[in-house]
Amino acid sequence: MFTNIITITKIFTKYARNNLGFYFLGVVFFPLSLLIPLIILVDAANRADIFIGSAICATTIMTITDISDIISHDKYANSISFFITRPVKPYQYILGVGLSTLFYNLIGVVVIFSFGILFLDFSVNILQLLGVFVVIFIGWFISCSLGFIIGMWGPRDPRMNSSLASMIAYVLTFLAPVYYPISALPAFLQKLSYLFYTTSLSLIGKNLIRHDWIHMVNVYIILIYLAISLVILFKVTHWKTT
């Protein structure tokens, strides 16, 4: 099992290894482009919203769009048959592709918090950062499952598939209260926002940064999404080439 996952990860990180300049732009300038304009617009008291929002945004957008794009192109070019005709389970393929995105996603999150600590006097300790990275990892895992669903069962045309994945990713990061306090929404929209897993992820992350109590409802929502992702990953997914 692990051999297949590692091999697939190596296959899909080969492009990154051969194009370090491109991925340097992706892991440094993309996260900072999400962070800096909003940091300028908000006061210091609300910076936790921006840092957590940027970290979740960078991970969610990159994971969902990259995985769906890879899978849809593999389907379109029929290169996915390489994996179907070998003893590779769909979940091994998903995790292998997902891990190839996780590395630079984590680097992007490190860039975001390093920038805040070094240049903006953003105060955060190692335990808080570890907690935030756990939140980011869980968000990455859920996003992997969503990216696979879009890539495998979404539009066959890679361009349409990529557009659909991008729209969903942007809704999850900009419509949901990721960059701004949930209290800014009307009461009925606050309730609706909990349909997005990114809402609970961001609220937990902000609680960690601000030393606030973590509301268990957010933990339960994430556990539900995590359970659904595990079921999708190991029980529901199957190869589909047509």
Q: Are 199 and 226 in contact (CB under 8 A)?
A: no
User: Stretch 204-233: mean pLDDT, rounded?
Assistant: 90
Q: What is the pLDDT of residue 16?
A: 64
Higher-pLDDT residue of 45 and 242 is 45
Q: Are 96 and 16 in contact (CB under 8 A)?
A: no
Cα Rg for the chain, rounded, in angstroms? Answer: 18
Q: The tokens of 214 are what? A: 């973590």
pLDDT range class, residue 11, cuts 50, 70, 90: confident
pLDDT digits (tens, 9 = 90+) for 142-191: 998 898 888 888 888 888 888 999 999 999 998 899 999 999 899 899 99
- Provide the residue count of the chain: 242
pLDDT digits (tens, 9 = 90+) for 56-114: 988 888 889 888 888 887 777 766 666 666 677 777 887 888 888 888 788 888 899 99
Tell me the residue type at 69: D
At residue 87's C-alpha, the angle toward residues 141 and 8, to 5°, is: 45
pLDDT range class, residue 234, cuts 50, 70, 90: confident
List, in sequence order, every beta strand (DSSP E) within the chain: none
pLDDT digits (tens, 9 = 90+) for 183-198: 989 989 999 999 999 9
Q: What is the pLDDT of residue 85?
A: 60
Q: Rounded to whole angstroms, how far apart are CA atoms 128 and 197?
A: 20
* Global pTM value: 0.86
Instruction: Write out the H or E segment, with its range, that includes residue 179.
Output: none
Angle between helices 197-210 and 216-231 (to 10 degrees): 140
Q: Rounded to whole angstroms, how far apart are CA atoms 54 and 62?
A: 12
